[in-house]
Structure 1
Amino acid sequence: MSVDPRAATGFAGVTDAYARGRPGYPTEAIDRIVAELELDEASSVLDLAAGTGQLSRLVHTRIRHIFAVEPVQPMRARIVDDLPGVTVLDGTAEAIPLPDCAVDAVLVGEAFHWFSTVPATAEIDRILSPEGGLALLWNTPT
């Protein structure tokens, strides 16, 4: 499965500006996800289509084992530089480079619209533990 050219190249040359310009997620939203999905510091979480790691950074304060899957190399490099405790992988929502039942939760921040829905949801289901959950986040003005 190929990455939409706009997603693959749109921010590749401007990762610093992208990271500075993206609105954040409220702490209350992260707290609710952690509570609703019954996550704790021993859980494993996937930040899918992680961009520069904004969501990974917020979740990593609560959960030790974070995977960040991102198809665009400059974005992955930013996560590696900024978040040394996060496992960064090259992949897409339709081809997640993790084994079956590998994570307790999949988080997607502002990216689900880029996915090919049927293969992406099948992949998400494959890598989630049986009791795992999915959280989709969007930034909207309040």
Structure 2
Amino acid sequence: MKKNLLGLTREELEQFVVSLGQKPFRSRQIMKWIYAKGASDFDVMTDISVPLRDKLKEVACIGGIDTLERISSPDGSVKYAFRLSDGNIIESVLIFDAPRVTVCLSSQVGCPLGCLFCATGRAGFVRNLTSAEIVDQIIQIKKDIP
């Protein structure tokens, strides 16, 4: 199973790249590509050697949620449905409230409360999301923020 780099702490990513025989500074380069430049593909990381990029493609990934649906409402809010790597579906919402932007993220699949008026609650609790799945929602939604 490939190591998902999203959601790793700086120290965890540094340990990972060192375990690949690389210098610790490579972790900072990778973090910059992922979080500052929005890279989701190792091939675009041009300041990282081709052999290291090839190795990363073999043993790691960046994210793993797929956008199933993106619905815009008249007030400008955007609702997202994401499919996780295990097939479960979660939802997130982007809310424009000038001068702020708010994002409501899912932190679990399903809900343990069981409220009868709520589809998620009626479905029941499945599991908590991983840190990578939570961070991936932010990265996907960030693409729609001007």
**What band does the TM-score fall into relative to the shorter chain?**
under 0.3
Q: What TM-score do you get using the length of structure 1 for normalisation?
A: 0.24
> Relative contact order: is structure 1 or structure 2 higher (C-alpha 8 Å, sep ≥ 6)?
1
Structure with bigger gyration radius: 2
